[in-house]
Amino acid sequence: MPELPEVSTMVDDLRRSIIGKKICSVWSDLPGKNLPDFRDIRGATIKTVDRRGKNILVYLSKGKEDLLLLVHPRMTGHFLIGKWVIAGRKKPEPVLKNGPLSEKTNSYIHLIFTLGDGEMLGLSDARKFSKIIFGKAARVEKLNELNKLGPDALSPKLTEPAFQKIISSKNKPIKAVLMDQSAVAGIGNIYSDEILWLSKINPLRKAPVLKDEEIRSIYSAMCSILKKAVRLRGTSFSDFRDTGGRKGKYGERRLVYGLASRPCVRCGSIIAKAKVSGRTASFCPECQK
């Protein structure tokens, strides 16, 4: 579920908390096939944390080597900062029983990096779908996970004319185009619904038939919705929490996502839903033509 606003929230938190710290040890109970070889990460210093689309990039250095840890949270992954007691391969127990990390959240911790100051960086992932890649920075940056991404949805380089060109070139429903990471990176099911509701565009309409003014409206709505969601620290509709275990607040301001069968806040018509590229779209059949 984490999309651009949720990943941006995690990255902002990590930048404030872990840059300059050394990774001392790694614990995980994930199957070996799901984990990279972490031997070279021990003793590495965290240089910076960045985001590309929905990917979290932790840049490290060790001696003369530049290393990169890439984590794509996918459906339920998110980072937490705290302290856990680790006994062998058993499930880690939280030290701060009354802290912001709930017992349920802690039960989904499957990867922990112990930092030099005693703090720990844990990856919580209820469904264990997160993609984790580690290696030399130059190699990881050339992988398809990054190389095939389209421009970031909030990048200054994604101008309105560039956005129009991308949308017009894709022969599929506009919601599917917005969720296509090779077209525009960072948008998923939640924010594509919100963007299309604000721009009054039906998610089933084919992208090439949209008029220029409609694409401009989508571009404006995309910038507005995503910036607002970043300010509100994302949506915690299901699993997402920030690195302190707190919920994002955008879910309280949702316009249409997940609100099927309820009245549209703009016109009062009943919100409908439909399948688009295997995902459920929520939209107003009256407002969104």
Tell which wins on pLDDT, 38 or 89. Answer: 38
Residue 216 has pLDDT above 70, yes or no: yes
- 164 plus 277 within the same structural domain: yes
Q: What is the mean pLDDT of residues 193-216?
A: 98
- 221 plus 247 within the same structural domain: yes
- 175 plus 253 within the same structural domain: yes
CATH (domain of 92): 3.20.190.10
Percent of the chain residues topping a pLDDT of 90: 84
Residue 28 has pLDDT above 60, yes or no: yes
Q: Which of 29-33, 128-132, 175-179, 187-191 has the lowest mean pLDDT?
A: 29-33
Tell which wins on pLDDT, 92 or 250. Answer: 250
- 206 plus 86 within the same structural domain: no
Are 254 and 274 within 8 A, CB to CB?
no
Residue 288 lies in a domain: no
Query: The whole model's pTM is what?
Result: 0.92
- 189 plus 137 within the same structural domain: no
Q: Which active-site residues does the annotation give?
A: 2-3, 54, 279
Residue 72 lies in a domain: yes
Range of the domain at 271: 160-283
- 24 plus 121 within the same structural domain: yes
Q: Which pLDDT does position 289 carry in this prediction?
A: 87
Q: What is the mean pLDDT of residues 218-230?
A: 98
- Domain count along the chain: 2
CA distance 247 to 94: 19
Q: Where residue 106 falls among pLDDT bands split at 50, 70, 90?
A: low
Tell which wins on pLDDT, 245 or 60. Answer: 60
- 122 plus 168 within the same structural domain: no
Q: Which pLDDT does position 247 carry in this prediction?
A: 93
- 121 plus 166 within the same structural domain: no
Alpha helices per DSSP H over the chain: 4-17, 103-106, 137-140, 144-147, 160-168, 174-179, 189-198, 212-231
Q: Which pLDDT does position 97 carry in this prediction?
A: 37
Q: What is the mean pLDDT of residues 180-187?
A: 98
- Mark which of 126, 147, 168 sits at the end of a domain: 147
Residue 289 lies in a domain: no
Extract the runs of DSSP E, i.e. beta strands, from the chain: 23-28, 45-52, 55-62, 65-72, 77-82, 84-85, 93-94, 109-115, 120-125, 131-136, 272-276, 279-283
Looking at every residue in the chain, the average pLDDT score rounds to 92
- 90 plus 222 within the same structural domain: no
Q: Which pLDDT does position 166 carry in this prediction?
A: 98
- 22 plus 55 within the same structural domain: yes
CATH (domain of 193): 1.10.8.50
Q: Which pLDDT does position 283 carry in this prediction?
A: 98
Residue 143 has pLDDT above 90, yes or no: yes
